[in-house]
Amino acid sequence: METYESGAYPYPSISYPQKYAGLQTGDTVKEGFTDTFCSIYAGSVIKKIPEKEVDVTHHKLKKGDSAPKFTLINQYEKKVTLSSKKTLLSFHPLAWTSVCEIQMRTLEVKKTIFDELGVIAYGISVDSVPSKKAWAAAMGVSETNLLADFWPHGEVAEKYGLFNADKGISGRANILINADLTIEWVREYEIFQVPDIEEVIKIASG
């Protein structure tokens, strides 16, 4: 019988079925679910597994640190460079996944508010430019720049202390950068957690 790590199942959010939220060690999964980062099989038993140490870049940026400069390509195959403007870097693991889609769609929905606050929002992942282009079109994201940190693979994520070398992806995080290119705010999230966009807006408004 399949087993499933109790510490890894999707936490309740708008992107995952609520029925998974209350699973405990020893419970049996009645209905399966599959996404890029997990597969839960019907009939599986939740098995308690100690948390594993994840190999994420060791250096972490904090408020007041200088933001590493970068130039990446967006979904329109145009170069985008971090500039002296208030900027939100919204790192996500991979395109074509449900939580990442919500994260990027939310940036697009809130673009008018970000414009009013003078904040430029960028979505960043390790996917290639063609993947970003197709994904943006599929989601209807046209006003928000989706940047490809593809090659050197995950270089920008690594500079910001977010690259997961074991999986070859970045962690999920929002980083707010001041116009003087110093870090204002950093929030990292669990892999299945949808970032709270209202929290981001509140911080950006402060």
CB 100 within 8 A of CB 132: no
What does pTM read for this prediction? Answer: 0.73
Mean pLDDT for 9-20 is 36
The residue ranking higher by pLDDT, 174 or 21, is: 174
pLDDT of residue 149: 98
- Give me the DSSP letters along the chain: --EEETTTSPPSBTTB-GGGTT--TT-B-SS-EEETTEEE-TT-EEE--PPPPP-B-S----TTSBPPP-EEE-TTS-EEE--SS-EEEEE-S-TT-HHHHHHHHHHHHTHHHHHHHT-EEEEEES--HHHHHHHHHHHT--SSEEEE-TTTTTHHHHHTT-EETTTTEE-EEEEEE-TTSBEEEEEEE-TTPPP-HHHHHHHHH-
Instruction: Kindly report, residue by residue over 30-53, the tens digit of the pLDDT.
Output: 665 554 444 455 565 554 433 333
Instruction: Kindly report, residue by residue over 94-143, the tens digit of the pLDDT.
Output: 999 999 999 999 999 999 999 999 999 999 999 999 999 999 999 999 99
CA 158, CA 171: separation in Å to the nearest integer?
10
Q: Which fold would CATH assign to domain 71-205?
A: Glutaredoxin (3.40.30)
Domain ranges of the chain: 1-52, 71-205
Show which residues are catalytic: 100
Indicate if the pLDDT at residue 28 is higher than 50. Answer: yes
pLDDT above 70 covers what percent of the chain? 71
